[in-house]
Amino acid sequence: MMRFLVLGGSNTAITLVVFAFLARVIPPWLAYTTVFALGLAYTTALTGRFVFGADTTSRRAALFIGWYLAVYVIGLGVVQTLRALGVGSPDVLALLTVVVTAPLTFLGGRWIFRDHCSHSHKELVT
């Protein structure tokens, strides 16, 4: 959990700031898409090994990217819904979108890398 917080926290902090900045100069959906793509590359490269201590095989990377893309669609829906509700502040848009999407990315990663997580937990207990 701590490693996810470090990796996810750094990704979230960077993308939050960049998203809020970009949303001031380009449409919010495009800002979100841009930071999402950058975050996807960053987290796909590091999540398996750094967070869950597992190899990022081609299959796991594909599953993780697929999950991340599903989270992207959810996040884009959050952005569009908030805009429709009249939320105009880029900072509020960014923060509320991250509140929804960050837990989803953790849960997906944990599920995708679960075999290794369960095995490592058993080793720590015995």
The reply to whether the predicted model has a pTM over 0.85 is: no
Distance CA 48, CA 28 (A): 30
Q: How many CB atoms lie within 10 A of CB 61?
A: 16
Quick check: 126 pLDDT over 80?
A: no
Task: Give pLDDT, residue 41.
Answer: 87
Distance CA 2, CA 41 (A): 21
Asked if 109 and 101 count as a contact pair (C-beta separation under 8 A), the reply is no
